[in-house]
Amino acid sequence: MATTSESGLPIEPVYGPETARDWDPAEKLGEPGTYPFTRGVYPSMYTGRPWTMRQYAGFGTAVESNARYQQLITNGTTGLSVAFDLPTQMGHDSDAPIAHGEVGKVGVAVDSVDDMRVLFDGIPLDQVSTSMTINAPAALLLLLYQLVAEEQGVGADRLTGTIQNDVLKEYIARGTYIFPPKPSLRLTA
């Protein structure tokens, strides 16, 4: 007896080899560490190295957040997860009237490459994996991060970490979207 998913797709109670007759594992599954990355981004995944340990942190100014990052690294953190304040998440400068009262409250304020320099001052970006929990201005903040890395002599190919680009999450769950969702999505037939 088939049931259906929330999307209305059929779900069989048991799947066996006959279910995958027209399914090409080389095309659809791939090898670990290769496209389409369904089996992980590294060939050995975490059997060859430990998980990255990150703590979501960022508050106040770039100076204050940098001090926390330095403390985390000194105590064994292998990755940083940057929490940005609400004005930064919404694409507003800290001195914008709409940002009044929110700057640095729920994360770090980053308005320029100078802020990004201070945020990562003394942190070797080729040795620390960085996650940036931000969506709409993600591309701009990634660029600022890459510029700081270049100044450290670290090429983009040596940077590790993640950045979000999930406009639907911001629209549906948080209400911190900048761009309306329809033009931000690619529709497929």
45: in domain: no
| Per-position pLDDT tens, the chain of length 189 | 558 888 888 888 888 878 888 888 778 888 888 888 888 877 887 777 777 778 889 989 999 999 999 999 999 888 999 999 999 988 999 999 999 999 999 999 999 999 999 999 999 999 999 999 888 888 899 999 999 999 999 999 999 998 887 777 777 777 777 877 777 777 766
35: in domain: no
64: in domain: yes
4: in domain: no
Range of the domain at 94: 52-175
The domain total for the chain is: 1
120: amino acid identity, one letter: F
Return d(Cα 21, Cα 5) in angstroms, integer. 22
Closest by CA to 119, choosing from 152, 55, 70, 54, is 70
Return d(Cα 70, Cα 116) in angstroms, integer. 15
> For the whole model, what pTM was predicted?
0.74
46: in domain: no
143: in domain: yes
86: in domain: yes
Q: Please state the three-class secondary structure of 68-92 as a single string.
A: HHHHHHHCCCCEEEEEECHHHHCCC
Closest by CA to 135, choosing from 172, 94, 168, is 168
18: in domain: no
